[in-house]
Structures are given as structure tokens and as C-alpha cells.
Amino acid sequence: MTIEDRDDAHLITHALAKDTLSRLRDVETEQVAFRKGLVKLGRICGYEIIDGAMETEYVPVETPLEETTGERVRGLDDVVIINVLRAATPFVEGLLKAFPRAKQGVISAGRDEEAGMTDGEFPITIDYVKLPEIGPDDTVIVADPMLATGSTMCAVLGHVLDEADGFEDLFVLSAVSAPDGLVRVSEQVPEADLLTVAIDDRLDDDGFIVPGLGDAGDRAFRTV
């Protein structure tokens, strides 16, 4: 198993996840490679969630030759993936390779970077929310590659909690997290399990994760 439990989060420690993230961090990685890297990382994280957090059950299987016992992952049809626009889009594309039958939700959320941070938090604008029905059997994965101050994720989770009629598990999945963001989300939404590939050192004065990988949305969508 390549998920390591820590006090602040569960770390996805698969070697390929670390390799892919290191390529994403590289300032020389251009748009197409960056976007493909996020897709790949999403796929790896999806497989790791299945391996580390979901159960299997034994089932009878009739092969062309005889009956045997196989093993199937339980609950693959009861997965909800929430795409936090915009940077999560390629990350979610990868997750869907692991969970092809997931129900999908979309929440468009952005930090007001002109307003800036106050007490370590950004004002968040939510423009659009479209969620599927979420119920007690569902494993919910809220995906956003960057968890910086945690302001966006707290706002997003507020909508998820308002609309969900219970859930089996609620995972917040990010590629890179800052310590402040992990603390904010776990204090404000204790029912969420935080999964991340890396926990970086700190935030800079503009709320960017250091060393981080820069602005994930801008690099994937080439808006700089």
C-alpha cells in the first residue's frame, strides 16, 4: 500500500506519483506536458484511492474453462467526483480512468487575488454549482490539484455538505498542499479525509505554495 497516514493528511507515496509531480514542478514543463502530467497524476491517485481506501469482495467467476473465485472492488458504482474548476479539469480526467462510472459534479470557484489574503484567507467567488445526488453509500472525491490557504476547498465543501444526504467517505484530493491549507480544511470540515501527494514548506505573501508548481490553472490552460 502506498498511502501513508500522517497527523495532517494521508500521503500518496507511490513512486510514479512522486515522479510525475516532480515533472509538473519543473518550470521547463510546457502546457501540453503539464496538462498530460496532471491527467497521469489523477489516474495514479485514483488507483491509490482504490487500493488504499476501498474494499474488495470475493465473487464467483465463470471463466471459459471452469468456475473460480475472483475479487472485485466494492462500491465502484457509488463514487462521486467533484471537479473544482478550473485547474482540476485535467486531474479529474485522470481520476475518471480509475473511476469510469463515477457520478460527476462541478463547482466553479476562484480566489479573489486582487482583494488578497486577510488573516491567511482569500475571498472566494463561486459562480456555478452542479452536483449529482449524493447519498450514504457514496465515496465522494473532491479534486483540486492545489490546496494553498484552503479557502477555496472550505467554500467548495460547504456546498457539498449542504447538498449531500450523507456519504460513506469524503476525500479531498490534491497534488500539492500547504500546511496552512491542511489545517484550515481539517478544522473547518473534520469529516473530510485529506489526501495529497506532497506537503510543501509554506505559502508566500501572495498565497502561492512554495516550492509548489506555480499557478496550476494558468499552466494547464496557458493563460499566462
Ligand X SMILES: O=P(O)(O)OC[C@H]1O[C@H](OP(=O)(O)OP(=O)(O)O)[C@H](O)[C@@H]1O
Ligand Y SMILES: O=c1cc[nH]c(=O)[nH]1
161: part of which helix (H) or strand (E)? helix 151-163
| Contact partner, 208, from Mg ion, ligand X, ligand Y, none, Cβ < 5-8 Å per class | ligand Y
User: Which three three-digit cell numbers place residue 153?
Assistant: 476547498
Distance (Å, whole) CA 174 – CA 197: 7
Residue 209 is a binding residue for ligand Y (CB under 6 A): yes
Residue 209 touches which member of ligand X, ligand Y, Mg ion, none, C-beta under 5-8 Å by kind: ligand Y
User: Which residue type is seen at 65?
Assistant: L
Please state, in angstroms and as integers, the Cα–Cα distance from residue 181 to each residue in 47, 212, 223, following that order: 24, 13, 25
Q: Contact, 131 vs 151, CB < 8 A?
A: no
- Among all chains, which residue has been given the C-alpha cell 501527494? 197
Cα(167)–Cα(79) distance, integer angstroms = 10
Is there a contact between 28 and 39 (Cβ–Cβ < 8 Å)? no
Binding string, 111-130, against ligand X, x = CB under 6 A?
A: x----------x--------
The label of the residue with cell 474548476 reads 85
> Which does residue 151 bind out of ligand X, ligand Y, Mg ion, none, counting CB within 5 to 8 angstroms by kind?
ligand X
Q: Does 217 bind Mg ion (CB under 5 A)?
A: yes
Binding mask 148-177 for ligand Y (x = CB under 6 A): x-----------------------------
Q: Which is nearer to Mg ion, 80 or 172 (CB)?
A: 172
On whether the CB atoms of residues 81 and 92 are closer than 8 A, the answer is yes
Nearer to ligand X, 37 or 181 (CB): 181
What's the CA gap between 214 and 216, in Å, rounded? 6
What does the alpha-carbon distance between residue 33 and residue 136 come to, in Å, rounded to a whole number? 38
For residue 200, the minimal CB distance to ligand Y (Å) is 8
Contact partner at residue 143 from ligand Y, Mg ion, ligand X, none, CB < 5 to 8 Å by partner kind: none
Q: How far is the CB of 1 from Mg ion (least distance, A)?
A: 32
Residue from 17, 21, 49, 87 in contact with ligand Y (CB under 6 A): 87
Residues forming the site for ligand Y (CB under 6 A): 87, 146, 148, 208-209, 212, 215-217
Residues forming the site for Mg ion (CB under 5 A): 215, 217
Detail the residues annotated as belonging to a binding site for 5-phospho-alpha-D-ribose 1-diphosphate: 86, 111, 144-152, 215
